């Protein structure tokens, strides 16, 4: 702003001198004429130099580039994991029957669950089953070991007789208790001639333990006393 004011002042002086010289030229005088051309040239050069210097000192406005908008990366929607359905675990030995017409119902058993046996002791268990299905059990039907401990019995027992619907049958199996102490369980299931298992197995639970030897009790014997009889 200061350089601009100085420039305007110099230009004003220069214009004033020009006007003054013009007036002097138009008025005749008898005196010798002063030659102002060199002075005008010097003033013009001075004014031009100051104008150039003022322009050089005045900082030119630098255009600041407008910031360009940076596009934010678009978020890629994450894939939603789909729930995978795992197959349900089934018993390896379970073979469901082709139909629900083969059904057995437990009625009773001769060896009660929790019976205690000595190691290696033999016994016979009898299951009483009822045919609650609509099919007749043929002699080719089987009573099969399902899981647990077979207690030395065969894996399959042939039914050997026909059992009509609502009929009852007793199945007896000879078994032997394990030699190791502990609790054991044996599961068995009815199946048809194609070895398709019925729906519900039956089972027996026993305990193997050493027999408790009873401690003999001592019986005290009365000491006989001498009886003296007096003969009159």
β 115-117/122-131 pair status: unpaired
Q: What local confidence, expressed as pLDDT, does residue 25 receive? A: 45
Report pLDDT for 16.
Answer: 66
CA–CA separation, 50 and 3 (whole Å):
9
Inter-residue contact 10 to 44 (CB < 8 Å): no
β-partners of residue 175 are: 123
Digit-coded pLDDT (tens) for 203-223: 999 999 998 777 776 666 665
pLDDT score of 212: 79
Instruction: List the chain domain ranges.
Output: 2-25+37-57, 104-208
Instruction: Give Cα separations from 74 to 70, 71, 77, 78, 195 (angstroms).
Output: 12, 8, 9, 12, 63
Can you tell me whether residue 12 is helix, strand or coil? helix
Residue segments in the chain with a per-residue pLDDT below the cut of 70: 1-100, 217-232
The pLDDT score that the predictor gives to residue 37 is 57
The pLDDT of residue 4: 56
Say which residue the tokens 């050997």 belong to: 160
Could you give the 3-state DSSP secondary structure of residue 62? coil
Contact 43, 19 (CB under 8 A): no
* 85 contact partners, CB below 8 Å, separation of at least 6: none
Instruction: Determine the pLDDT at residue 95.
Output: 47
Q: What is the pTM of this model?
A: 0.52
C-beta of residue 157 within 8 angstroms of C-beta of residue 143: yes
CATH superfamily of 104-208: Immunoglobulins (2.60.40.10)
Compute the distance between CA of residue 127 and CA of residue 107 in angstroms, rounded to an integer.
Answer: 8
Can you read off the two tokens belonging to residue 120?
């290696």
Q: What is the pLDDT of residue 51?
A: 52
């Amino acid at each position: 702003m200061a350089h601009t004011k100085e420039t305007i002042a110099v230009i004003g002086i220069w214009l004033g001198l020009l006007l003054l010289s013009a007036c002097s030229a138009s008025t005749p005088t008898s005196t010798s004429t002063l030659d102002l051309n060199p002075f005008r040239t010097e003033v013009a050069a001075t004014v031009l130099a100051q104008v150039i210097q003022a322009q050089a000192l005045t900082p030119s406005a630098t255009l600041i580039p407008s910031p360009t908008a940076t596009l934010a990366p678009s978020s890629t929607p994450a894939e939603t994991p789909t729930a995978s359905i795992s197959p349900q675990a089934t018993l390896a030995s379970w073979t469901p029957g082709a139909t629900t017409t083969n059904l057995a119902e437990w009625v009773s058993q001769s060896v009660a669950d929790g019976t205690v046996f000595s190691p290696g002791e033999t016994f016979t268990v009898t299951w009483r089953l009822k045919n609650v299905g609509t099919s007749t059990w043929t002699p080719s039907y089987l009573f099969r070991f399902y899981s647990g401990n077979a207690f030395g019995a065969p894996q399959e027992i042939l039914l050997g007789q026909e059992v009509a619907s609502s009929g009852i049958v007793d199945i007896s199996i000879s078994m032997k208790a394990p030699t190791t102490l502990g609790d054991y369980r044996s599961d068995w299931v009815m199946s048809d001639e194609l070895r398709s298992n019925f729906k519900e197995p039956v089972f027996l639970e026993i305990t193997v333990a050493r027999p408790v030897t009873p401690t003999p009790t001592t019986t005290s014997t009365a000491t006989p006393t001498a009886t003296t009889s007096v003969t009159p």
